[in-house]
Amino acid sequence: MAQSANAQKKSIAQRDKELMQLQQQIELKEAQLKQDYRNLQRDVKQNPYLQVALEEYNTFFQNEKKEKEKKVKALSNLLKHVKDESDINEIKREIIQIKRK
C-alpha cells in the first residue's frame, strides 16, 4: 500500500521521465540483443556448438516479428472503426512506431 500511495504522489512529469528512462533502457537492451545475435552468427562458424543458441535467437526474433504483425493488424482493424480524427492519427503513429522497431 505504501508503494501505491507513493506512486500517487509522483507528478505526471516524474512519471513521464521514468517511462522515458525505461523506454531508453529497453531500446539499449534490444540493441545489445541484436549485437549479441550478430556476434553469435559470426562465431558459430568457429564453434558449431553455438548453433543451438543461434536457433534460439532465430526463434525469439521470429516470435517478435509475429507479435508486431499481430499488433499492426489489430490497430489497422481498429482504424476501420474509429471516427475521431485525433484517434485515427494516434493509431497511425502507433502503427508507424511498431513498424520501425
Average pLDDT estimate for 22-39 = 94
Which residues, other chains included, contact 61 with Cβ-Cβ below 8 Å and sequence gap of 6+? 37
Residue 11 pLDDT level (bands cut at 50, 70, 90): confident
- Helix 51-79 × helix 85-100 angle, to 10°: 170
pLDDT(5) > 80: no
Please indicate, yes or no, whether the overall pTM of this predicted structure exceeds 0.85: no
**Domain boundary assignment for the chain:** 11-100
